[in-house]
């Protein structure tokens, strides 16, 4: 990559067009807020809280699962992702918002957790309001902290490179983050060393933290049901949703920033392979649970599965399997469908929608007597979360360069 | 390859062919020793056939014990081969080239070893063919709902695919060696070389075939050990019946397989003079994979214990308490320390890059993974629901001799292979050596 192109990338990365994020984000967040307030102050407060929990889990998954993609790229020393890594790191801006959203969840606890009204003494204090919220808040704090630190150090060299192009508050912010970093070999080595231990740490914390969240916020909703794989099922699914979100962001920003020259066939093909692979893995972890539970036929375990596979919830379960596995599997098995932006976007969207429905299916049947309900409340709250996500993402894109010329150059080396 | 002295193409051929030359006395002593142990295992097996499975210490409730442990252990060892040759190939990891042949050969021989145990474990082994699902005049029809039958399919598929993989990968290499050897071995190489001439169209077909094989073999890495795990998980024995078993077994299998690759590579590289091709960098990368899979295994231990407590089920709780503090506490702690704790040492690059350390660690991991299967199988069975039906099981000399014999069987095949076939892939190692330009060509 020539020097001129490098400077040009720096410029473009700093001037991301954000009107779409601001307008859509504000409108959707407003819609969500109104729906949620109307929902929980109306006749069906529980329904609003249910939707809130589902969306909290879904958006936590796609945000944190996306940041973990960046960490995995560092650990495996992958180069191809250099051009798109920032699009997954940008989600880190949503982590503090998620923390606040989790605190709000506290006020809906009576509508969500059956063990508040019917404690399970055999578990001691494990499932009590104080304990559950304290440890989950702590988990989320740690995850956010390490995620922010990771992105911080990966931004540092790029901010040092772009410092001369920004002024005002951005200038101050960059000075604060770069903290005297000028790109000397020692500084680069020191920075790489930090990323070198932050990225595996983030992956480990992600696995344990998301397992905790899954056990507390999903498994405990069905009081006597247990599945040891649920934690891994949750965080691998979350990683899949992080990848599909990245795919959508990649397609969007590629056009908005005019990055067709650096985000090419290679990136589409490789990300497509990952989405394909994790869709298959999702099906594998799903099947591993269903088979063992079905075969063992113990009532405390089967209730959870049978309730979803027979009766009113059956169509939802079938739809989840189609959207998360069947369609992306047959859609993305071909090279051409991975490397064509239109089809890749389409199948990523299908998978992401399926993942939302999967989180809905994990939560909702455990906490309601009714069959599937999908109305204004569910849609409104989901749009509200989406709006907040877009706003936070936009704020990151406003403040930081959305493309790293340094990492993009590394990815470009592969194409020769 | 980042060594200071890059080997040239001709040096690669020379060194690898030299590794197949006339072996020293040490080789024959080793081969003689493993053949002796193999014979001892055979004698123990004949003894068991004559006097029955009671000789192996089998008595209710422990009717699956050391042989099934061995079976799962060897199937597990087999997993690393396909991981390295298929999955790392798809992930474009260049470092795999120097080690994949060893891993693949190990895979095939480990499956061959594992395949012995269902037969050894049979009371009346002359009915072993009943396992195969074909309709017959006695109206026998295997139970397709039984995971034991799924095993037959999973493992025979795996054996077929990994053997094909090994043989296909060998073709260009054997062709290169064929031209340098005469006599009986020359004839064998001629057979395996499949008339390879290295033409453009042959290479095109070869690379295409390799890619497809890699893609088709990848799901097998997950499926085989998942099916093995379901032998246990679909029952309702406390300690067996848990949903995490499939991925947990797969991770454990790859973990033990990688450890066995390290165990084999360390002596191999020095005795065959392959230090230039298999060096610290490969052990560093193997160490990272060991760390990853070891951490997954550690995660699974933790989650299993936690859920056993969380479920509130007195049987689950008792089963896991008994594991850690009951009669077999030593087996459980061997497994936990070797697998979950020792693997964490691999966070330190110094340890990953120290070949002696990696060797010692790999031995501990092999031990730990053997005990993991022992813990799961024997302890769970000896301590099920009814206190009245609980009993203690102790392995007998027959068990141990046959287990030692299985190691001997495995090493016999491996020693014969290492002597007669290139254990480092000539072709693929050459692929990652940068092309020498005319101006910089030396010597």
Altogether, the residues listed in chain B come to a count of 443
Ranges A120-124, A136-140, B387-391, most confident: A136-140
**Most B CBs within 10 Å, among A212, A273, A292, A329, to test the B interface:** A292
- Rounded to a whole number of angstroms, the distance from the CA of A404 to the nearest CA of chain B is 23
Residues of chain A found within 8 Å of residue B299, distances taken between Cβ atoms: 207-208, 211, 232
The pTM (predicted TM-score) of the whole model is 0.93
- Residue B442 inside a domain? The answer is no
In sequence order, the 6+-apart residues with CB closer than 8 A to the CB of B20 are: B177, B419, B420, B421, B422
Q: pLDDT at position B5, please?
A: 63
Contact A108, A52 (CB under 8 A): yes
Look at residue A249 and give its three-state secondary structure.
Answer: helix
- Chain A and chain B share a number of CB contacts under 8 A equal to 72
User: For residues B83 and B334, which has the higher predicted lDDT (pLDDT)?
Assistant: B334
Q: ω before B15 within 30° of 0 (cis)?
A: no
**pLDDT tens digits, A95-109:** 999 999 999 999 999
Unique residue bearing structure tokens 């994949």: B100
Residue A132, chain B, CB below 8 Å: the answer is no
| A123/B242 touch (CB, cutoff 8 Å), yes or no | no
Residues of chain B found within 8 Å of residue A296, distances taken between Cβ atoms: 233-236, 241
- Residue B139 inside a domain? The answer is no
Cα(A319)–Cα(A307) distance, rounded to whole angstroms?
15
- Residue B438 inside a domain? The answer is no
Q: pLDDT at position A245, please?
A: 97
SS (H, E, C) B97-146: HHCHHHHHHHHHHHHHHHCHHHHHCCCCHHHHHHHCCCCCCCCCCCCCCC
Please compute the mean of the pLDDT values over residues B425-433 and round it to a whole number: 75
* Minimum Cα–Cα distance from B242: chain A residue: A228
**Most B CBs within 10 Å, among A288, A290, A298, to test the B interface:** A288
Number of domains comprising chain B: 1
**Tell me, what CATH number does B239's domain have?**
1.20.1630.10
Among the residue ranges A158-162, A238-242, A384-388, B420-424, the one predicted with the least confidence is B420-424
Q: pLDDT at position B434, please?
A: 67
| B310/A288 touch (CB, cutoff 8 Å), yes or no | no
- Residue B244 inside a domain? The answer is yes
Say if residue B6's pLDDT is above 80: no
Q: Measured between alpha carbons, how far is residue B264 from residues A159, B79, B330 in Å?
A: 48, 15, 27
- Residue B85 inside a domain? The answer is yes
Q: What percent of chain B has pLDDT over 90?
A: 52
Q: pLDDT at position A206, please?
A: 97
Residue B295, chain A, CB below 8 Å: the answer is yes
Residue A330, chain B, CB below 8 Å: the answer is no
Q: pLDDT at position A415, please?
A: 64
- Rounded to a whole number of angstroms, the distance from the CA of A75 to the nearest CA of chain B is 10
Q: pLDDT at position A408, please?
A: 87
Q: pLDDT at position B275, please?
A: 84
Q: How confident is the model at residue A37 (pLDDT cuts 50, 70, 90)?
A: very high
- Residue B397 inside a domain? The answer is yes
User: For residues B287 and A164, which has the higher predicted lDDT (pLDDT)?
Assistant: B287
**pLDDT tens digits, B113-165:** 999 998 899 888 888 877 776 666 667 677 788 888 888 888 899 999 989 98
Residue A226, chain B, CB below 8 Å: the answer is yes
- Residue B96 inside a domain? The answer is yes
Cα(B140)–Cα(B420) distance, rounded to whole angstroms?
43
Residues of chain B found within 8 Å of residue A280, distances taken between Cβ atoms: 219
- At B218, list the tokens: 């990848």
Say if residue B300's pLDDT is above 70: yes
ipTM of the complex: 0.94
**Most A CBs within 10 Å, among B230, B243, B314, to test the A interface:** B243
Residue A115, chain B, CB below 8 Å: the answer is no
Among the residue ranges A145-154, A227-236, B6-15, B143-152, the one predicted with the least confidence is B6-15
**Most A CBs within 10 Å, among B86, B87, B244, B301, to test the A interface:** B244
In sequence order, the 6+-apart residues with CB closer than 8 A to the CB of B60 are: B389, B391
Say if residue A329's pLDDT is above 60: yes
Q: pLDDT at position B3, please?
A: 44
Give the range of the structural domain holding residue B318, as residue numbers without chain letter: 23-134+145-431
- Rounded to a whole number of angstroms, the distance from the CA of A187 to the nearest CA of chain B is 21
- Residue B437 inside a domain? The answer is no
| A292/B242 touch (CB, cutoff 8 Å), yes or no | yes
Q: What percent of chain A has pLDDT over 90?
A: 79
């Amino acid at each position: 990559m020539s020097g001129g192109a490098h400077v040009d990338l720096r410029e473009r990365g700093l001037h991301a067009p954000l009107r779409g994020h601001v307008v859509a984000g504000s409108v959707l967040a407003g819609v969500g807020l109104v729906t949620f307030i109307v929902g929980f102050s109306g006749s069906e407060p529980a329904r609003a809280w249910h939707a809130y929990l589902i969306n909290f889990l879904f958006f936590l998954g796609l945000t944190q699962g996306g940041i973990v993609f960046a960490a995995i790229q560092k650990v495996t020393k992958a180069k191809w992702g250099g051009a798109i890594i920032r699009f997954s790191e940008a989600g880190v801006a949503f982590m503090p918002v998620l923390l606040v959203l989790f605190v709000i969840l506290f006020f809906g606890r009576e509508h969500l957790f059956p063990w508040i009204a019917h404690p399970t003494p055999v578990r001691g204090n494990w499932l009590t309001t104080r304990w559950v919220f304290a440890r989950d808040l702590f988990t989320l704090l740690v995850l956010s902290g390490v995620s922010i630190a990771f992105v911080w150090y990966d931004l540092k060299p790029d901010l040092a490179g772009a410092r001369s192009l920004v002024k005002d508050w951005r200038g101050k912010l960059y000075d604060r983050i770069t903290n005297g970093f000028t790109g000397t070999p020692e500084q680069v080595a020191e920075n790489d060393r930090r990323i070198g231990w932050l990225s595996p740490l983030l992956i480990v914390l992600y696995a344990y933290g998301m397992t905790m969240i899954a056990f507390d916020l999903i498994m405990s909703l069905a009081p006597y049901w247990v599945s040891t794989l649920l934690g891994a099922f949750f965080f691998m699914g979350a990683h899949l949703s992080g990848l599909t979100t990245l795919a959508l962001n990649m397609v969007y920003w590629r056009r908005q920033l005019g990055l067709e020259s650096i985000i090419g066939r290679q990136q589409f093909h490789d990300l497509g392979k990952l989405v394909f692979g994790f869709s298959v893995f999702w099906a594998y972890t799903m099947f591993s649970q269903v088979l063992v539970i079905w075969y063992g036929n113990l009532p405390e375990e089967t209730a959870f599965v049978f309730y979803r596979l027979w009766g009113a919830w059956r169509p939802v379960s079938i739809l989840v399997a189609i959207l998360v596995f069947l369609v992306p599997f047959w859609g993305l098995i071909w090279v051409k469908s991975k490397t064509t932006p239109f089809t890749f976007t389409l199948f990523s969207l299908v998978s992401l929608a399926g993942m939302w429905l999967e989180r809905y299916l994990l939560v909702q049947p455990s906490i309601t007597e009714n069959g599937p309900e999908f109305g204004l409340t569910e849609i409104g709250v989901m749009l509200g979360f989406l709006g907040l996500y877009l706003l936070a993402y936009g704020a990151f894109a406003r403040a930081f360069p959305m493309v790293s010329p340094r990492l993009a150059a590394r990815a470009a080396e592969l194409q020769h | 390859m980042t060594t200071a002295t890059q080997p040239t193409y001709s040096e690669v051929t020379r060194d690898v062919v030299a590794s197949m030359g006339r072996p020293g006395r040490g080789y024959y002593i080793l081969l003689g020793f493993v053949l002796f142990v193999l014979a001892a295992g055979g004698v123990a097996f004949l003894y068991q056939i004559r006097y029955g499975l009671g000789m192996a210490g089998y008595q209710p409730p422990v009717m699956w014990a050391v042989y099934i442990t061995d079976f799962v252990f060897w199937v597990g060892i087999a997993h690393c081969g396909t991981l390295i040759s298929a999955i790392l190939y798809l992930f474009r990891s260049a470092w795999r080239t120097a080690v994949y042949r060893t891993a693949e050969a190990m895979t095939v021989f480990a499956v061959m070893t594992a395949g012995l145990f269902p037969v050894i474990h049979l009371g009346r082994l002359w009915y072993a063919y009943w396992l195969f699902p074909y309709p017959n005049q006695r109206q026998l029809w295997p139970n397709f709902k039984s995971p034991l039958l799924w095993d037959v399919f999973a493992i025979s598929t795996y054996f077929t695919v990994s053997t094909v993989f090994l043989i296909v990968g060998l073709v260009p290499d054997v062709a290169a060696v064929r031209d340098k050897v005469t006599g009986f071995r020359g004839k064998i190489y001629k057979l395996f070389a499949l008339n390879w001439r290295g033409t453009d169209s042959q290479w095109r077909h070869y690379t295409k075939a390799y890619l497809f094989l890699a893609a088709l073999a990848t799901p097998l890495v997950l499926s085989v050990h998942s099916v093995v795990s379901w032998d246990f998980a679909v029952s309702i024995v406390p300690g067996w019946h848990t949903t995490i078993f499939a991925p947990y077994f797969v991770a454990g299998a790859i973990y033990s397989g990688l450890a066995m690759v390290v165990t084999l590579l360390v002596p191999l590289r020095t005795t065959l003079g392959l230090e230039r091709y298999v060096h610290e960098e490969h052990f560093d990368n193997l160490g990272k994979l060991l760390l990853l899979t070891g951490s997954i295994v550690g995660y699974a231990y933790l989650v299993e214990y936690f859920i056993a407590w969380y479920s509130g089920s007195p049987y689950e709780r008792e089963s896991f308490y008994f594991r850690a503090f009951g009669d077999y506490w030593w087996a459980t702690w061997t497994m936990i320390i070797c697998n979950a704790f020792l693997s964490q040492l691999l966070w330190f690059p110094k340890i990953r890059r120290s070949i002696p350390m990696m060797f010692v660690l790999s031995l501990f991991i092999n031990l730990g993974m053997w005990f993991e299967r022992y813990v799961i199988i024997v302890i769970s069975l000896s301590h099920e629901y009814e206190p009245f039906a609980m009993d203690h099981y102790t392995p007998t000399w027959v068990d141990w001799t046959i287990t030692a014999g299985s190691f001997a069987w495995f090493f016999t095949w491996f020693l014969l292979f290492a002597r007669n076939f290139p254990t480092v892939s000539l072709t693929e190692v050459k692929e990652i050596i940068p092309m020498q330009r005319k101006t910089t060509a030396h010597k």
